[in-house]
Amino acid sequence: MAFIELEGVEKTFTVRRKRGRFTRTKDEVRAVEGLTFGVERGEMVGYIGPNGAGKSTTVKMLTGILTPSAGRLRVAGVDPQKERVRLAQRIGVVFGQRTTLWWDLPLRDSFTLVRRIYRIPQDRFEENLGRCVDQLELGPLLDTPVRQLSLGQRMRGDITAALLHDPEVLYLDEPTIGLDILSKATVRRFLAEVNARGTTVLLTTHDLQDIEQLCRRVMVIDHGRVVYDGGLEGLQGSDGAERTLVVDLAGPSPAIDVDGARVVRREGDGERQWLAFPAGRSAAPLVAAVAERYPLVDLSVREPDIEDVIARLYRGVPAQAT
Amino acid sequence: MADIRAVRPLNPVSAYLAVAGMWARSALVYRLNFVLVVVVGLLVNGVEFIGIVFMFMNVPALGGYSLPEVALLYGASGTALGLCDLLFGSIEKIGSRIRDGSLDTFLVRPVRLYPQAAADQFALRRLNRLIQAGGVLVYGLVAADVHWTWGRALMIPVMLICGTAIFEGVFTLGAAFQFWAQDAAEVQNAFTYGGNYLTQYPPTVFAKEMVRGAVFVIPLAFVDWWPALYVLGKPDPLGLPAWTHFLSPVVAGAFCGIAALAWRAAVRGYRSTGS
């Protein structure tokens, strides 16, 4: 039996809409329908999809916050909705947009509260806190009030708070949203390490690089259904997702003709051009080839993001950054 | 299943104390603000009772109750509400927690929702009502012409505990109602603070229908009126049997039971309808 198991899970919300001054209509909205998948212990799975696809609803059902309308759901063999309090002892949750830290108190105090609430033995608490503080570089911040922390520092604090009780599974909702590149790298390195220690991780994100660097398995959900489940390479197809090189030239120019890339868009009579090339390849030789033959003024490289990848799932064409 | 952990969840009282302690310390970060709020609160509440004292400068009694007797009612009702407000009053904030979705962070902790919601935004500054009402109560107990017996003395703490419990029931019912109507905190206030206003005056000054409502519908009469009838040896305005004066513990227990059921139904409803 899989560690996390969903079988035909459905969640319907009743939405009341105002019609006239006094009349209201009830509409049934299906947040998820017929959701079936399993996650093995120790896996790290990227759970992605457009806004409103049902990602948060799924996580809320897995944590026991919401009760499914139909279907069967088990986490560690337990029905989350019936045993929410007991299961909470074994899971960790990070809501990216919602901190659980105490605004006016030193960061350390929030962790102490976690220790009391989760009844973590002192020695294990100190060991876990020490490891998180060390790897997430929180040492100098422990005595700083949370309100003075940056977004990235707060996120690292939240991740620490979710891991102090040694959860068997960690749910992360947009853990890198709004972070700078350095913070993102620190968080990703740490999450990989957490997973390597055996913690099952379900990661919701809009950042394709989170998935690329962390998850061997990706589930794409849309309109409440799993539309893709497999490796990232399968999602990107044999020709892969494409990155885009945007070049500014010194003057009007015909479409750039170089090997390994094709022009997908031109502006200002060719003064700015968009070149698509496979995501797995380095941009350096391409830049060199362009610079050699065209009057290159400026350039930038754009990564395909999750929305593009998902859109491509439907269109059956390579994802492009725009 | 392997690896099921034997860790028992934290008991609700400890959970409550842990969360309330964090809020208390958060408030003390802003010391000056805290002191000002407490002092101003004491002054504002103090003025309220002075108004009653002024009234007695013109009339010798209010509905057959002397000033110390009214002080006893005022003090008992205020102390009960003050205690309840200090310990559980935050539950009325649940509506805003539901609206902004932060209730979800409570629900992923291995602790029941009620102690967390009751301790949420715990505010020591609410002590000011308790201090002021307690002072008036002491004055009433000392100055009122009571023929003290063991039973009457014992009735005072019983009255305060039951009163606190009844107000807690009202708060909890209101909080449960907010799961459906998320901005209904004001309706709740009509019964808590309004109920306090009602019960700080003698029952004899109100219309009989009002008093009946407080006995049979929302049992605010059992906060202080009915126990005080026994303590002060006053006639019952509704002419009910004398044993009803001792019913407060039963009424408080039953009322809290009803409130607890409503709360459970509301939380279950939330978890199946979502935010």
Does A161 lie in the same domain as A29? Answer: yes
Backbone angles phi, psi at A82, to 5 degrees: -80, -30
Q: Are A38 and A103 in contact (CB under 8 A)?
A: no
Q: Is residue A311 part of a domain?
A: no
Q: Is A16 on the interface with B (CB under 8 A)?
A: no
Contact of B49 with B74, CB cutoff 8 Å = yes
Note whether A135 and A215 are same-domain residues: yes
Domain boundaries, chain B: 12-270
Are A64 and A80 in contact by the 8 Å Cβ rule? The answer is yes
Query: What pLDDT digit, counting tens, does each position of B95-115 carry?
Result: 888 888 888 889 999 999 999
For residue A320, being part of any structural domain is answered with: no
For residues A68 and A181, membership in a common domain is answered with yes
Tell me which of B11, B108, B264 to substitute to probe the interface with A (most A C-beta atoms closer than 10 Å): B108
Compute the Cα dihedral for B250, B251, B256, B257 and give only its sign.
positive
Query: CB A90 to CB B109 under 8 A?
Result: no
Q: What pLDDT band is residue A321 in, cutting at 50, 70 and 90? A: very low
Given A220, A236, A252, the domain boundary residue is A236
% pLDDT > 90, chain A: 33
- Compute the distance between CA of residue B30 and CA of residue A37 in angstroms, rounded to an integer: 50
pLDDT at site A129:
93
- Domain containing A111: what range? 4-236
Are A177 and A276 in the same domain?
Answer: no
pLDDT of residue B183: 66
CATH code of residue A171: 3.40.50.300
> CB of A319 within 8 A of CB of A312?
yes
Flag whether A317 is in a domain. no
Q: Which two tokens stand for residue B228?
A: 């005080």
Same domain for A148 and A203? yes
Question: What is the residue whose two structure tokens read 């905190």?
Answer: B185
What is the helix (H) or strand (E) element at residue A172, kind and residue range?
strand A169-173
CA–CA separation, A55 and A36 (whole Å): 13
Tokens (6 digits) for B122: 């715990």
Are both A260 and A180 inside the same structural domain? no
Query: Residue B114 in contact with residue B263, Cβ under 8 Å?
Result: yes
Amino acid at the residue A319: A
Confidence at residue A280, expressed as pLDDT on a 0 to 100 scale: 74
The answer to whether residues A216 and A176 belong to one domain is yes
Rounded Cα–Cα distance for residues B238 and B212 (Å): 8
**Which residues of chain A have a CB within 8 Å of the CB of B104?**
60, 65, 95, 98
Question: Going by C-beta distance under 8 Å and a sequence separation of 6 or more, which residues neighbour residue B86?
Answer: B123, B124, B126, B127, B129, B130
**Over the stretch B136-190, which tens digit does the pLDDT of each residue have?**
999 999 998 888 999 999 999 999 999 999 999 999 999 998 888 766 677 777 7
B9-66 pLDDT per residue, tens: 889 999 999 999 999 999 888 888 888 888 888 888 888 888 888 888 888 888 888 9
Tokens, residue A241 = 């997702």
What per-residue confidence (pLDDT) applies to B4? Answer: 44
Q: Kindly give the pairing relationship between strand A242-249 and strand A296-302.
A: antiparallel
Q: What's the angle, vertex CA A223, arms to CA A218 and CA A228, rounded to 5?
A: 25
Provide the mean pLDDT of chain B.
87
Same-domain status, A93 and A45? yes
Higher local confidence (pLDDT), A316 or A308? A308
pLDDT at A236 over 80: no
Count of domains for chain A: 2
Do A169 and A286 lie in one domain? The reply is no
Q: What is the DSSP letter of A102?
A: -
B268 — pLDDT class (breaks 50, 70, 90): confident
CB A181 within 8 A of CB A150: no
User: Token pair of A234, please?
Assistant: 């399968």
Given A236, A252, A273, the domain boundary residue is: A236
Q: Tell me which amino acid residue A161 is.
A: A
B272 to chain A: closest CA residue: A67
What percentage of residues in chain B have a pLDDT greater than 70?
95
If asked whether residues A253 and A184 sit together in one domain, one would say no
Chain A environment of B6 (Cβ under 8 Å): none
In Å, how far are A42, B34, B90 from B40, measured between CA atoms? 57, 10, 20
Average confidence (pLDDT) over B121-125: 87
Q: Are residues A263 and A204 in the same domain?
A: no
Mind listing the pLDDT tens digit for each residue in A247-286?
999 888 888 888 888 888 888 888 899 988 887 788 888 8
Q: Which of A9, A55, A60, A115 to mutate to test the interface with B (most CBs of B within 10 A)?
A: A60
DSSP 8-state code for residue A145: B
CB distance A87 to A62 below 8 Å: no
Q: Is residue A147 included in any domain, yes or no?
A: yes
Residue A225 domain-assigned?
Answer: yes
Say which of A60, A85, A104 has its CB closest to residue B29.
Answer: A104
Tell me how far CA of residue B103 lies from CA of A78, A87, B274, in angstroms: 22, 17, 11
Q: How far, in Å, CA of B235 to CA of B204, rounded?
A: 10
Query: Domain check: are A14 and A80 in the same one?
Result: yes
Task: Say if A312 falls within a structural domain.
Answer: no
A119-133, A152-166, A289-303, B177-191: segment of lowest average pLDDT: B177-191
pLDDT of residue B140: 93
Reported ipTM: the value is: 0.82
